[in-house]
């Protein structure tokens, strides 16, 4: 695998040792992201994150993407679970093609919340569309699309 020097392709992953994550660890993480010009990060915490720490993450959201996961949320890969259908995030071009093909507006698509575990797994942002392929006894496969909200 080739290493990319492009900072937009890089992702920092932080494992917090404290059971509860507060403002100080988040500030250190943000400082490191800023100093290294890395715009995407993941925080894995043990038990909880304080509301003020969550607020800092939300405030930096326009420029820096920082996803947070509790340790027990990522122990099992939910995309490999037998009850979870295949999900595929569509590109902007594919989204436009889909909307034009079916003569739809974005608002007419069913929604998926950005807090949904699958949406968090794929890092879906508001306005992105995900294609969901489910097995069907009658049709073989059943395809739906959802708009991240």
In eight-state DSSP terms, residue 76 is S
pTM of the model: 0.73
Look at residue 2 and tell me whether its pLDDT is greater than 50.
no
50-80 confidence digits (pLDDT tens): 999 988 888 887 788 888 899 988 888 999 9
Per-residue pLDDT at 5:
59
pLDDT in tens, 131-140: 999 999 998 9
For residues 54 and 22, is the Cβ–Cβ distance under 8 A?
no
Cβ-proximal residues to 51 (8 Å cutoff; 6+ apart), any chain: none
Question: Which helix (DSSP H) or strand (DSSP E) does residue 118 occupy?
Answer: helix 117-122
Strand 65-70 and strand 111-112: the pairing is unpaired
Average pLDDT, rounded, for the chain:
89
Which residue has 């939910």 as its token pair? 78
Close Cβ partners of 43 (under 8 Å, ≥ 6 residues apart): 14, 16, 21, 26, 29, 49, 57, 66, 67, 68, 69
The residue ranges of every structural domain in the chain are 7-73, 78-148
Q: Rounded to 10 degrees, what is the CA torsion of 9, 15, 16, 21?
A: 50
> Average pLDDT, stretch 37-45?
90
The CATH superfamily assigned to 7-73 is RNA polymerase, Rpb5, N-terminal domain (3.40.1340.10)
Residue 117 near residue 73, CB atoms below 8 Å: yes
CATH of domain 78-148: 3.90.940.20
């Amino acid at each position: 695998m080739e290493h990319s020097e492009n900072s937009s392709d890089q992702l920092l992953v932080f494992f917090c040792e404290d059971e509860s994550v507060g403002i100080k660890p988040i500030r250190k993480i943000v400082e490191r992201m800023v100093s290294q010009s890395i715009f995407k990060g993941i925080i894995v915490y043990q038990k909880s994150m304080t509301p003020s720490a969550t607020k800092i993450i939300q405030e930096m959201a326009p420029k820096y993407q920082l996803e947070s996961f509790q340790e027990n949320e990522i122990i099992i890969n939910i995309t490999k679970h037998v009850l979870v259908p295949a999900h595929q995030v569509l590109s902007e071009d594919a989204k436009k093609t889909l909307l034009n093909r079916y003569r739809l507006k974005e608002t007419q698509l069913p929604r998926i919340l950005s807090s949904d575990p699958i949406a968090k797994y794929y890092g879906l942002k508001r306005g992105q569309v995900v294609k969901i392929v489910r097995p069907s006894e009658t049709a073989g496969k059943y395809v739906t699309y959802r708009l991240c909200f």
